[in-house]
A and B are shown apart, each in its own frame.
Chain A
Protein backbone atom coordinates (compact mmCIF):
# COMPACT_ATOMS: atom_id res chain seq x y z
CA UNK A 1 0.00 0.00 0.00
CA UNK A 2 1.56 3.29 -1.07
CA UNK A 3 0.64 6.91 -0.95
CA UNK A 4 -2.35 8.06 -2.95
CA UNK A 5 -2.50 11.70 -1.95
CA UNK A 6 0.55 13.79 -1.21
CA UNK A 7 -0.29 17.32 -0.09
CA UNK A 8 2.54 19.80 0.25
CA UNK A 9 2.40 23.30 1.75
CA UNK A 10 -1.15 23.78 0.59
CA UNK A 11 -2.52 27.27 1.09
CA UNK A 12 -5.85 28.68 0.01
CA UNK A 13 -6.95 32.30 0.09
CA UNK A 14 -10.29 32.90 -1.55
CA UNK A 15 -10.65 35.70 -4.07
CA UNK A 16 -11.62 38.89 -2.29
CA UNK A 17 -10.41 37.66 1.08
CA UNK A 18 -7.17 38.09 3.00
CA UNK A 19 -7.74 35.23 5.43
CA UNK A 20 -5.99 31.93 4.78
CA UNK A 21 -8.70 29.30 4.61
CA UNK A 22 -5.92 26.69 4.49
CA UNK A 23 -2.47 27.61 5.70
CA UNK A 24 0.61 25.66 4.65
CA UNK A 25 -0.90 22.20 5.09
CA UNK A 26 1.24 19.14 4.35
CA UNK A 27 0.38 15.48 4.81
CA UNK A 28 -0.10 12.23 2.93
CA UNK A 29 -2.93 9.72 2.65
CA UNK A 30 -2.16 6.07 2.21
CA UNK A 31 -3.94 3.74 -0.14
CA UNK A 32 -6.66 1.73 1.56
CA UNK A 33 -6.88 3.72 4.76
CA UNK A 34 -9.83 5.46 6.33
CA UNK A 35 -8.62 8.97 6.96
CA UNK A 36 -10.54 11.39 9.14
CA UNK A 37 -10.50 15.14 9.00
CA UNK A 38 -11.77 16.81 12.16
CA UNK A 39 -12.14 20.41 13.14
CA UNK A 40 -14.67 22.98 14.29
CA UNK A 41 -16.96 24.89 11.97
CA UNK A 42 -15.00 27.20 9.71
CA UNK A 43 -11.72 25.40 10.36
CA UNK A 44 -10.97 24.88 6.67
CA UNK A 45 -11.91 21.22 6.31
CA UNK A 46 -14.30 21.63 3.37
CA UNK A 47 -11.83 23.98 1.69
CA UNK A 48 -9.18 21.29 2.00
CA UNK A 49 -11.27 18.49 0.60
CA UNK A 50 -12.62 20.71 -2.18
CA UNK A 51 -9.01 21.14 -3.27
CA UNK A 52 -8.38 17.40 -2.99
CA UNK A 53 -11.43 16.84 -5.19
CA UNK A 54 -10.46 19.52 -7.68
CA UNK A 55 -13.39 21.84 -7.03
CA UNK A 56 -11.15 24.70 -5.94
CA UNK A 57 -7.77 25.92 -7.13
CA UNK A 58 -5.11 26.11 -4.41
CA UNK A 59 -3.47 29.50 -3.99
CA UNK A 60 -0.09 27.86 -3.47
CA UNK A 61 1.35 24.46 -2.68
CA UNK A 62 0.77 21.21 -4.48
CA UNK A 63 -1.39 18.12 -4.50
CA UNK A 64 -0.20 14.88 -6.03
CA UNK A 65 -2.62 12.06 -6.69
CA UNK A 66 -0.98 8.71 -7.46
CA UNK A 67 2.14 10.73 -8.16
CA UNK A 68 0.44 13.02 -10.70
CA UNK A 69 0.44 16.76 -10.12
CA UNK A 70 -3.26 17.51 -9.98
CA UNK A 71 -2.72 21.09 -8.92
CA UNK A 72 -1.93 21.84 -12.53
CA UNK A 73 -4.23 19.14 -13.97
CA UNK A 74 -7.30 18.93 -11.75
CA UNK A 75 -9.30 17.24 -14.53
CA UNK A 76 -7.44 14.01 -13.61
CA UNK A 77 -8.98 13.89 -10.13
CA UNK A 78 -12.55 12.82 -11.03
CA UNK A 79 -11.20 9.75 -12.79
CA UNK A 80 -10.09 8.34 -9.45
CA UNK A 81 -12.01 10.30 -6.82
CA UNK A 82 -15.69 10.57 -5.94
CA UNK A 83 -16.87 13.34 -3.65
CA UNK A 84 -19.95 13.65 -1.49
CA UNK A 85 -20.35 17.34 -0.72
CA UNK A 86 -22.22 18.68 2.28
CA UNK A 87 -25.02 19.83 0.06
CA UNK A 88 -25.88 19.17 -3.54
CA UNK A 89 -28.25 21.18 -5.68
CA UNK A 90 -27.83 19.47 -9.04
CA UNK A 91 -30.24 16.87 -10.41
CA UNK A 92 -33.13 18.21 -8.35
CA UNK A 93 -35.68 17.25 -10.97
CA UNK A 94 -34.50 13.68 -11.33
CA UNK A 95 -35.66 10.60 -9.50
CA UNK A 96 -33.06 8.99 -7.22
CA UNK A 97 -32.54 6.00 -9.51
CA UNK A 98 -32.08 8.22 -12.53
CA UNK A 99 -29.51 10.29 -10.67
CA UNK A 100 -27.55 7.18 -9.69
CA UNK A 101 -27.69 5.61 -13.12
CA UNK A 102 -26.67 8.73 -15.01
CA UNK A 103 -23.86 9.44 -12.56
CA UNK A 104 -22.54 5.92 -13.02
CA UNK A 105 -22.64 6.34 -16.78
CA UNK A 106 -20.81 9.65 -16.56
CA UNK A 107 -18.18 7.86 -14.52
CA UNK A 108 -17.63 5.50 -17.42
CA UNK A 109 -19.97 2.60 -16.61
CA UNK A 110 -21.90 1.01 -19.42
CA UNK A 111 -25.66 1.35 -19.27
CA UNK A 112 -26.08 -2.22 -18.04
CA UNK A 113 -23.40 -1.89 -15.38
CA UNK A 114 -24.90 1.43 -14.28
CA UNK A 115 -28.33 -0.19 -13.95
CA UNK A 116 -26.88 -3.07 -11.98
CA UNK A 117 -25.05 -0.81 -9.55
CA UNK A 118 -28.11 1.41 -9.20
CA UNK A 119 -30.37 -1.52 -8.34
CA UNK A 120 -27.91 -2.77 -5.75
CA UNK A 121 -27.54 0.64 -4.12
CA UNK A 122 -31.27 1.32 -4.10
CA UNK A 123 -31.73 -1.87 -2.14
CA UNK A 124 -28.71 -1.42 0.09
CA UNK A 125 -29.49 2.17 1.04
CA UNK A 126 -33.24 1.66 1.28
CA UNK A 127 -34.49 4.04 -1.39
CA UNK A 128 -37.61 1.96 -1.89
CA UNK A 129 -39.82 4.25 0.15
CA UNK A 130 -38.99 7.33 -1.91
CA UNK A 131 -37.82 6.04 -5.29
CA UNK A 132 -40.83 7.66 -6.98
CA UNK A 133 -40.19 11.12 -5.53
CA UNK A 134 -38.18 13.75 -7.33
CA UNK A 135 -34.97 14.73 -5.54
CA UNK A 136 -36.38 18.20 -4.80
CA UNK A 137 -39.20 16.60 -2.79
CA UNK A 138 -36.98 14.44 -0.59
CA UNK A 139 -36.34 15.17 3.07
CA UNK A 140 -32.86 16.09 4.29
CA UNK A 141 -32.11 12.56 5.38
CA UNK A 142 -33.41 11.00 2.19
CA UNK A 143 -31.36 13.40 0.11
CA UNK A 144 -28.28 12.57 2.14
CA UNK A 145 -28.77 8.88 1.36
CA UNK A 146 -29.03 9.64 -2.34
CA UNK A 147 -25.88 11.76 -2.15
CA UNK A 148 -24.07 8.88 -0.55
CA UNK A 149 -25.30 6.62 -3.32
CA UNK A 150 -24.05 9.09 -5.91
CA UNK A 151 -20.61 8.83 -4.33
CA UNK A 152 -20.60 5.04 -4.09
CA UNK A 153 -21.76 4.51 -7.66
CA UNK A 154 -19.00 4.07 -10.20
CA UNK A 155 -16.65 2.45 -7.66
CA UNK A 156 -13.98 5.09 -7.53
CA UNK A 157 -10.84 3.91 -5.63
CA UNK A 158 -10.85 7.07 -3.51
CA UNK A 159 -14.08 8.36 -1.99
CA UNK A 160 -14.40 11.55 0.01
CA UNK A 161 -17.34 12.19 2.32
CA UNK A 162 -18.13 15.55 3.84
CA UNK A 163 -20.37 15.01 6.86
CA UNK A 164 -21.79 11.71 5.59
CA UNK A 165 -24.16 11.10 8.48
CA UNK A 166 -25.74 14.54 8.86
CA UNK A 167 -29.53 14.46 8.90
CA UNK A 168 -29.65 10.67 9.33
CA UNK A 169 -31.35 8.80 12.12
CA UNK A 170 -29.23 6.57 14.40
CA UNK A 171 -30.13 3.31 12.68
CA UNK A 172 -29.24 4.63 9.23
CA UNK A 173 -26.07 6.25 10.57
CA UNK A 174 -24.83 2.90 11.81
CA UNK A 175 -25.62 1.39 8.42
CA UNK A 176 -23.68 4.12 6.63
CA UNK A 177 -20.62 3.63 8.83
CA UNK A 178 -20.83 -0.06 8.05
CA UNK A 179 -21.08 0.72 4.35
CA UNK A 180 -17.97 2.87 4.57
CA UNK A 181 -16.13 0.19 6.47
CA UNK A 182 -17.24 -2.39 3.90
CA UNK A 183 -15.96 -0.16 1.08
CA UNK A 184 -12.64 0.11 2.83
CA UNK A 185 -12.39 -3.65 3.16
CA UNK A 186 -12.75 -3.76 -0.62
CA UNK A 187 -9.60 -1.66 -0.81
CA UNK A 188 -11.10 1.79 -1.25
CA UNK A 189 -9.39 4.77 0.32
CA UNK A 190 -11.94 6.70 2.36
CA UNK A 191 -11.56 10.31 3.49
CA UNK A 192 -14.16 11.53 5.95
CA UNK A 193 -14.93 14.97 7.29
CA UNK A 194 -17.18 14.67 10.27
CA UNK A 195 -18.27 16.28 13.48
CA UNK A 196 -19.63 12.96 14.67
CA UNK A 197 -16.38 12.13 16.38
CA UNK A 198 -17.69 9.38 18.66
CA UNK A 199 -19.14 7.39 15.78
CA UNK A 200 -16.26 8.08 13.42
CA UNK A 201 -13.80 6.79 16.00
CA UNK A 202 -15.10 3.30 15.33
CA UNK A 203 -13.81 3.22 11.78
CA UNK A 204 -11.28 6.01 11.26
CA UNK A 205 -7.75 4.67 11.20
CA UNK A 206 -5.77 7.88 10.99
CA UNK A 207 -6.97 11.36 11.74
CA UNK A 208 -5.95 14.95 11.24
CA UNK A 209 -7.25 17.91 13.19
CA UNK A 210 -7.57 21.28 11.52
CA UNK A 211 -8.41 24.66 13.00
CA UNK A 212 -8.00 28.20 11.70
CA UNK A 213 -6.83 26.72 8.41
CA UNK A 214 -3.85 24.98 9.97
CA UNK A 215 -3.09 21.32 10.51
CA UNK A 216 -2.77 20.95 14.28
CA UNK A 217 -2.37 17.21 14.69
CA UNK A 218 -1.96 14.09 12.61
CA UNK A 219 -1.73 10.45 13.60
CA UNK A 220 -3.59 7.28 14.40
CA UNK A 221 -6.31 7.53 16.99
CA UNK A 222 -4.21 5.67 19.53
CA UNK A 223 -1.24 7.95 18.96
CA UNK A 224 -3.27 11.11 19.33
CA UNK A 225 -5.05 9.80 22.39
CA UNK A 226 -1.67 9.20 23.96
CA UNK A 227 -1.05 12.96 23.62
CA UNK A 228 -3.95 13.95 25.83
CA UNK A 229 -4.78 13.60 29.50
CA UNK A 230 -4.59 9.86 30.26
CA UNK A 231 -6.87 9.85 33.27
CA UNK A 232 -9.88 7.61 32.98
CA UNK A 233 -13.36 9.02 33.25
CA UNK A 234 -15.84 7.44 35.64
CA UNK A 235 -19.33 8.59 34.79
CA UNK A 236 -21.87 8.16 37.53
CA UNK A 237 -25.52 8.95 37.05
CA UNK A 238 -27.31 8.89 40.38
CA UNK A 239 -31.02 8.26 40.71
CA UNK A 240 -32.84 11.56 41.25
CA UNK A 241 -33.65 10.92 44.91
CA UNK A 242 -29.93 10.44 45.75
CA UNK A 243 -28.57 13.37 43.75
CA UNK A 244 -28.15 15.60 46.80
CA UNK A 245 -26.67 13.11 49.27
CA UNK A 246 -23.64 14.90 50.77
CA UNK A 247 -21.79 11.72 51.63
CA UNK A 248 -21.78 10.65 48.01
CA UNK A 249 -20.43 14.04 46.93
CA UNK A 250 -17.63 13.75 49.46
CA UNK A 251 -16.79 10.26 48.23
CA UNK A 252 -16.58 11.45 44.65
CA UNK A 253 -14.31 14.35 45.63
CA UNK A 254 -11.94 11.93 47.37
CA UNK A 255 -11.60 9.75 44.28
CA UNK A 256 -10.38 12.34 41.79
CA UNK A 257 -11.24 15.52 39.94
CA UNK A 258 -15.01 15.93 39.86
CA UNK A 259 -17.10 17.55 37.14
CA UNK A 260 -20.82 17.92 37.74
CA UNK A 261 -22.62 17.85 34.41
CA UNK A 262 -26.01 17.89 36.15
CA UNK A 263 -26.92 17.29 39.82
CA UNK A 264 -27.35 13.60 38.95
CA UNK A 265 -24.59 13.17 36.33
CA UNK A 266 -21.10 13.28 37.78
CA UNK A 267 -17.80 12.74 36.03
CA UNK A 268 -14.75 11.76 38.04
CA UNK A 269 -11.27 11.86 36.49
CA UNK A 270 -9.12 9.16 38.02
CA UNK A 271 -5.58 8.12 37.50
CA UNK A 272 -5.38 4.72 35.90
CA UNK A 273 -3.78 2.98 38.83
CA UNK A 274 -6.53 4.10 41.21
CA UNK A 275 -9.48 3.36 38.93
CA UNK A 276 -10.18 -0.11 40.28
CA UNK A 277 -10.21 1.03 43.87
CA UNK A 278 -12.44 3.96 42.93
CA UNK A 279 -14.92 1.63 41.27
CA UNK A 280 -14.89 -0.70 44.25
CA UNK A 281 -15.58 2.19 46.66
CA UNK A 282 -18.46 3.50 44.56
CA UNK A 283 -20.07 0.08 44.37
CA UNK A 284 -19.49 -0.56 48.07
CA UNK A 285 -20.56 2.81 49.49
CA UNK A 286 -23.31 3.66 47.01
CA UNK A 287 -24.31 0.47 45.24
CA UNK A 288 -25.71 -0.12 41.79
CA UNK A 289 -29.30 0.11 43.03
CA UNK A 290 -28.84 3.83 43.63
CA UNK A 291 -27.41 4.48 40.19
CA UNK A 292 -29.14 4.97 36.87
CA UNK A 293 -25.88 4.38 35.00
CA UNK A 294 -22.20 3.84 35.67
CA UNK A 295 -19.52 3.92 32.96
CA UNK A 296 -15.78 3.91 32.60
CA UNK A 297 -14.26 5.65 29.61
CA UNK A 298 -10.74 5.85 28.36
CA UNK A 299 -9.67 9.00 26.51
CA UNK A 300 -11.69 9.22 23.32
CA UNK A 301 -11.17 10.86 19.97
CA UNK A 302 -13.65 13.44 21.12
CA UNK A 303 -11.32 14.32 23.98
CA UNK A 304 -8.46 14.71 21.50
CA UNK A 305 -10.66 16.91 19.34
CA UNK A 306 -11.78 19.04 22.27
CA UNK A 307 -8.27 19.44 23.59
CA UNK A 308 -6.84 20.60 20.30
CA UNK A 309 -9.85 22.79 19.68
CA UNK A 310 -9.85 24.50 23.03
CA UNK A 311 -6.39 23.91 24.42
CA UNK A 312 -7.94 22.46 27.58
CA UNK A 313 -7.17 19.22 29.43
CA UNK A 314 -9.14 16.00 29.27
CA UNK A 315 -12.71 16.00 30.63
Chain B
Protein backbone atom coordinates (compact mmCIF):
# COMPACT_ATOMS: atom_id res chain seq x y z
CA UNK B 1 0.00 0.00 0.00
CA UNK B 2 1.40 3.40 -0.92
CA UNK B 3 2.35 5.81 1.84
CA UNK B 4 0.33 8.64 0.47
CA UNK B 5 -3.27 7.77 1.25
CA UNK B 6 -4.50 11.25 0.64
CA UNK B 7 -4.13 11.64 -3.07
CA UNK B 8 -6.02 13.89 -5.38
CA UNK B 9 -5.76 17.16 -3.56
CA UNK B 10 -8.30 19.31 -5.26
CA UNK B 11 -6.87 21.01 -8.29
CA UNK B 12 -8.96 24.04 -7.71
CA UNK B 13 -8.71 25.14 -4.09
CA UNK B 14 -10.73 28.30 -4.60
CA UNK B 15 -13.84 28.84 -2.58
CA UNK B 16 -17.15 28.33 -4.39
CA UNK B 17 -19.72 31.07 -4.04
CA UNK B 18 -23.22 30.27 -2.84
CA UNK B 19 -25.59 29.95 -5.84
CA UNK B 20 -28.04 32.32 -4.18
CA UNK B 21 -27.79 34.78 -1.31
CA UNK B 22 -28.36 33.55 2.20
CA UNK B 23 -31.86 34.34 3.37
CA UNK B 24 -31.99 36.37 6.54
CA UNK B 25 -34.83 36.07 9.05
CA UNK B 26 -38.03 37.78 7.98
CA UNK B 27 -41.50 38.03 9.43
CA UNK B 28 -43.06 37.03 6.13
CA UNK B 29 -40.98 33.84 5.94
CA UNK B 30 -41.69 32.99 9.57
CA UNK B 31 -45.44 33.41 9.07
CA UNK B 32 -45.43 31.39 5.87
CA UNK B 33 -43.48 28.59 7.53
CA UNK B 34 -45.70 28.71 10.60
CA UNK B 35 -48.78 28.22 8.43
CA UNK B 36 -47.17 25.26 6.68
CA UNK B 37 -46.06 23.77 10.01
CA UNK B 38 -49.58 24.08 11.43
CA UNK B 39 -50.91 22.39 8.28
CA UNK B 40 -48.42 19.56 8.73
CA UNK B 41 -49.29 19.10 12.38
CA UNK B 42 -53.02 19.20 11.71
CA UNK B 43 -52.49 16.49 9.13
CA UNK B 44 -50.39 14.52 11.61
CA UNK B 45 -53.26 14.47 14.05
CA UNK B 46 -55.47 12.60 11.65
CA UNK B 47 -54.78 9.32 13.44
CA UNK B 48 -54.51 10.66 17.01
CA UNK B 49 -57.01 13.53 17.27
CA UNK B 50 -59.78 11.35 18.59
CA UNK B 51 -57.59 9.89 21.31
CA UNK B 52 -56.41 13.28 22.43
CA UNK B 53 -59.90 14.78 22.52
CA UNK B 54 -61.22 11.65 24.20
CA UNK B 55 -58.57 11.69 26.92
CA UNK B 56 -59.23 15.37 27.54
CA UNK B 57 -62.91 14.55 28.03
CA UNK B 58 -62.98 11.07 29.51
CA UNK B 59 -61.40 11.37 32.93
CA UNK B 60 -62.83 14.80 33.83
CA UNK B 61 -66.24 13.65 32.59
CA UNK B 62 -65.91 10.51 34.66
CA UNK B 63 -65.01 12.56 37.72
CA UNK B 64 -67.98 14.89 37.19
CA UNK B 65 -70.33 11.96 36.82
CA UNK B 66 -68.85 10.30 39.92
CA UNK B 67 -69.20 13.44 42.01
CA UNK B 68 -72.75 13.93 40.86
CA UNK B 69 -73.60 10.30 41.58
CA UNK B 70 -72.27 10.30 45.15
CA UNK B 71 -74.11 13.50 45.96
CA UNK B 72 -71.07 15.58 46.85
CA UNK B 73 -72.38 18.68 45.08
CA UNK B 74 -74.68 20.35 47.55
CA UNK B 75 -74.53 23.97 46.40
CA UNK B 76 -73.85 26.10 43.32
CA UNK B 77 -70.58 27.25 44.93
CA UNK B 78 -69.42 23.65 45.22
CA UNK B 79 -70.56 22.98 41.68
CA UNK B 80 -68.55 25.90 40.37
CA UNK B 81 -65.52 24.82 42.38
CA UNK B 82 -65.66 21.31 40.96
CA UNK B 83 -66.45 22.39 37.41
CA UNK B 84 -63.58 24.90 37.34
CA UNK B 85 -61.22 22.25 38.66
CA UNK B 86 -62.39 19.72 36.10
CA UNK B 87 -61.91 22.13 33.25
CA UNK B 88 -58.32 22.67 34.38
CA UNK B 89 -57.91 18.91 34.73
CA UNK B 90 -59.18 18.47 31.18
CA UNK B 91 -56.28 20.56 29.89
CA UNK B 92 -53.74 18.64 31.96
CA UNK B 93 -55.09 15.25 30.94
CA UNK B 94 -55.43 16.21 27.29
CA UNK B 95 -52.92 18.53 25.60
CA UNK B 96 -50.36 18.70 28.43
CA UNK B 97 -49.98 14.95 28.70
CA UNK B 98 -50.12 14.49 24.98
CA UNK B 99 -47.27 16.94 24.47
CA UNK B 100 -45.11 15.34 27.13
CA UNK B 101 -45.33 11.95 25.46
CA UNK B 102 -45.22 13.26 21.89
CA UNK B 103 -42.04 15.25 22.41
CA UNK B 104 -40.41 12.63 24.62
CA UNK B 105 -40.92 9.92 22.00
CA UNK B 106 -39.96 12.32 19.19
CA UNK B 107 -36.62 12.82 20.91
CA UNK B 108 -36.12 9.09 21.30
CA UNK B 109 -36.70 8.29 17.63
CA UNK B 110 -34.85 11.40 16.44
CA UNK B 111 -37.93 12.81 14.75
CA UNK B 112 -36.48 16.30 15.13
CA UNK B 113 -33.72 15.48 12.64
CA UNK B 114 -36.23 16.13 9.86
CA UNK B 115 -37.02 19.61 11.20
CA UNK B 116 -33.41 20.51 11.94
CA UNK B 117 -32.47 19.73 8.34
CA UNK B 118 -34.94 22.36 7.10
CA UNK B 119 -34.42 26.14 7.12
CA UNK B 120 -36.78 26.59 10.06
CA UNK B 121 -36.50 28.73 13.13
CA UNK B 122 -36.95 26.71 16.32
CA UNK B 123 -39.62 29.08 17.62
CA UNK B 124 -41.73 28.34 14.53
CA UNK B 125 -41.82 24.68 15.49
CA UNK B 126 -42.56 25.46 19.14
CA UNK B 127 -45.40 27.84 18.23
CA UNK B 128 -46.87 25.39 15.76
CA UNK B 129 -46.85 22.64 18.39
CA UNK B 130 -48.51 24.95 20.92
CA UNK B 131 -51.12 26.17 18.39
CA UNK B 132 -52.28 22.66 17.58
CA UNK B 133 -52.45 21.79 21.26
CA UNK B 134 -54.58 24.89 21.85
CA UNK B 135 -56.96 23.77 19.11
CA UNK B 136 -57.29 20.27 20.48
CA UNK B 137 -57.82 21.49 24.03
CA UNK B 138 -61.04 23.22 23.02
CA UNK B 139 -63.34 20.22 22.48
CA UNK B 140 -62.46 18.81 25.91
CA UNK B 141 -62.93 22.13 27.66
CA UNK B 142 -66.22 22.93 25.97
CA UNK B 143 -67.45 19.40 26.54
CA UNK B 144 -66.60 19.46 30.24
CA UNK B 145 -68.16 22.90 30.64
CA UNK B 146 -71.44 21.79 29.04
CA UNK B 147 -71.54 18.40 30.74
CA UNK B 148 -70.66 19.84 34.13
CA UNK B 149 -73.15 22.68 33.87
CA UNK B 150 -75.85 20.20 32.91
CA UNK B 151 -75.10 17.60 35.58
CA UNK B 152 -74.44 20.11 38.36
CA UNK B 153 -77.48 22.19 37.45
CA UNK B 154 -75.57 25.35 36.62
CA UNK B 155 -77.24 27.84 34.31
CA UNK B 156 -75.54 28.80 31.07
CA UNK B 157 -75.35 32.56 31.55
CA UNK B 158 -73.96 35.38 29.48
CA UNK B 159 -70.95 36.14 31.66
CA UNK B 160 -69.68 32.62 30.95
CA UNK B 161 -68.75 34.00 27.53
CA UNK B 162 -65.71 35.48 29.27
CA UNK B 163 -64.43 31.93 29.24
CA UNK B 164 -63.75 32.31 25.53
CA UNK B 165 -60.89 34.81 25.76
CA UNK B 166 -59.72 33.11 28.95
CA UNK B 167 -59.37 29.70 27.31
CA UNK B 168 -56.19 30.44 25.29
CA UNK B 169 -54.61 32.12 28.31
CA UNK B 170 -55.30 29.05 30.43
CA UNK B 171 -54.30 26.51 27.81
CA UNK B 172 -51.07 28.25 26.80
CA UNK B 173 -49.10 27.79 30.06
CA UNK B 174 -50.30 24.21 30.34
CA UNK B 175 -49.27 23.29 26.81
CA UNK B 176 -46.00 25.13 27.30
CA UNK B 177 -45.48 23.09 30.48
CA UNK B 178 -46.22 19.91 28.54
CA UNK B 179 -43.66 20.95 25.92
CA UNK B 180 -41.09 21.72 28.60
CA UNK B 181 -41.60 18.40 30.37
CA UNK B 182 -41.37 16.64 27.02
CA UNK B 183 -38.09 18.44 26.31
CA UNK B 184 -36.83 17.43 29.77
CA UNK B 185 -37.62 13.74 29.09
CA UNK B 186 -34.57 12.04 27.69
CA UNK B 187 -36.65 9.32 26.05
CA UNK B 188 -40.18 8.04 25.55
CA UNK B 189 -40.25 5.95 28.70
CA UNK B 190 -39.30 8.92 30.87
CA UNK B 191 -42.00 10.92 29.11
CA UNK B 192 -44.60 8.25 29.90
CA UNK B 193 -43.56 8.29 33.53
CA UNK B 194 -43.76 12.08 33.75
CA UNK B 195 -47.13 11.98 32.07
CA UNK B 196 -48.45 9.55 34.69
CA UNK B 197 -47.04 11.73 37.47
CA UNK B 198 -48.86 14.73 36.04
CA UNK B 199 -52.10 12.75 35.97
CA UNK B 200 -51.74 11.72 39.61
CA UNK B 201 -50.64 15.12 40.84
CA UNK B 202 -53.26 17.14 39.00
CA UNK B 203 -56.06 14.67 39.64
CA UNK B 204 -55.51 13.95 43.31
CA UNK B 205 -52.81 16.09 44.89
CA UNK B 206 -53.77 19.60 43.82
CA UNK B 207 -56.67 21.96 44.47
CA UNK B 208 -58.68 20.80 41.45
CA UNK B 209 -61.35 18.76 43.22
CA UNK B 210 -60.07 19.31 46.75
CA UNK B 211 -60.17 22.77 48.42
CA UNK B 212 -56.68 24.12 48.95
CA UNK B 213 -57.05 24.46 52.71
CA UNK B 214 -57.88 20.76 53.03
CA UNK B 215 -54.63 19.69 51.36
CA UNK B 216 -51.56 18.97 53.52
CA UNK B 217 -49.37 22.04 53.96
CA UNK B 218 -46.55 20.84 51.66
CA UNK B 219 -49.06 20.31 48.83
CA UNK B 220 -50.61 23.72 49.52
CA UNK B 221 -47.17 25.26 49.04
CA UNK B 222 -46.46 23.28 45.88
CA UNK B 223 -49.86 24.24 44.48
CA UNK B 224 -48.81 27.91 44.51
CA UNK B 225 -46.11 27.13 41.95
CA UNK B 226 -48.21 25.08 39.55
CA UNK B 227 -50.23 26.74 36.75
CA UNK B 228 -53.24 24.42 37.12
CA UNK B 229 -54.05 26.11 40.44
CA UNK B 230 -54.44 29.48 38.73
CA UNK B 231 -56.19 28.01 35.70
CA UNK B 232 -58.84 26.46 37.94
CA UNK B 233 -59.11 29.68 39.95
CA UNK B 234 -59.60 31.76 36.81
CA UNK B 235 -62.28 29.42 35.47
CA UNK B 236 -64.08 29.53 38.82
CA UNK B 237 -63.94 33.33 38.90
CA UNK B 238 -65.63 33.58 35.49
CA UNK B 239 -68.20 30.87 36.26
CA UNK B 240 -69.18 32.66 39.48
CA UNK B 241 -68.96 36.14 37.91
CA UNK B 242 -66.31 37.24 40.42
CA UNK B 243 -63.74 38.79 38.10
CA UNK B 244 -62.06 40.90 40.73
CA UNK B 245 -58.49 41.66 41.78
CA UNK B 246 -57.94 38.02 42.64
CA UNK B 247 -58.94 37.09 39.11
CA UNK B 248 -56.62 39.78 37.74
CA UNK B 249 -53.79 38.29 39.79
CA UNK B 250 -54.56 34.85 38.33
CA UNK B 251 -54.38 36.30 34.81
CA UNK B 252 -50.98 37.91 35.42
CA UNK B 253 -49.63 34.72 36.95
CA UNK B 254 -50.85 32.72 33.95
CA UNK B 255 -49.18 35.16 31.58
CA UNK B 256 -45.97 34.81 33.61
CA UNK B 257 -46.14 31.01 33.50
CA UNK B 258 -46.85 31.07 29.75
CA UNK B 259 -43.84 33.26 29.03
CA UNK B 260 -41.63 31.31 31.43
CA UNK B 261 -42.48 27.84 30.11
CA UNK B 262 -42.42 28.92 26.47
CA UNK B 263 -38.98 30.44 26.96
CA UNK B 264 -37.67 27.39 28.76
CA UNK B 265 -39.15 25.09 26.10
CA UNK B 266 -37.41 27.08 23.41
CA UNK B 267 -34.09 26.84 25.20
CA UNK B 268 -34.33 23.20 26.19
CA UNK B 269 -35.88 21.75 23.03
CA UNK B 270 -32.95 19.50 22.18
CA UNK B 271 -32.48 20.84 18.69
CA UNK B 272 -29.08 19.42 17.87
CA UNK B 273 -27.35 16.37 19.31
CA UNK B 274 -24.60 17.31 21.73
Contact = CB atoms under 8 A, between A and B. Distances in A.
B194 to A, nearest CB: 21
B15 interface: yes
Interface residues of B, number: 47
Contacts of B5: 216-219, 227
A66 B47 CA distance: 42
Nearest to B14: A2
A193 to B, nearest CB: 15
B273 A14 contact: yes
Nearest to B40: A102
A57 B274 contact: yes
B273 A66 contact: no
Interface stretch (A71-79, A125-133, A163-171, A262-270): A71-79
A107 B13 contact: no
Interface in A178-225: 206, 215-220, 223-224
Interface in A21-55: 28, 30-31, 50, 53-55
A14 B32 CA distance: 35
Contacts of A149: none
Contacts of A85: 110, 113-114, 117
Interface stretch (B16-24, B148-156, B241-249): B16-24
Contacts of B272: 54-57, 74
Interface stretch (A87-95, A233-241, A292-300): A87-95
Contact of A106 (B10, B22, B33, B273): B33
A186 to B, nearest CB: 11
A45 to B, nearest CB: 15
Contacts, number: 146
A112 to B, nearest CB: 14
Contact of B13 (A3, A15, A217, A218): A3
Contact of A89 (B7, B47, B109): B109
Interface residues of A, number: 60
Given A78-B118, A83-B117, A85-B113, A93 B12 contact: no
A224 B19 contact: no
Given A1-B16, A3-B13, A307-B1, A54 B40 contact: no
Nearest to B25: A75
23 contacts: A15-B274, A30-B10, A30-B12, A54-B117, A56-B272, A57-B273, A76-B22, A78-B120, A89-B110, A90-B112, A91-B114, A92-B44, A93-B43, A93-B45, A102-B36, A102-B39, A106-B37, A106-B118, A136-B47, A157-B19, A217-B5, A219-B5, A223-B8
Interface of A: 1-4, 6, 14-15, 28, 30-31, 50, 53-57, 66-68, 74-76, 78-83, 85, 87-94, 98, 102-103, 105-108, 134, 136, 157, 206, 215-220, 223-224, 226-228, 307
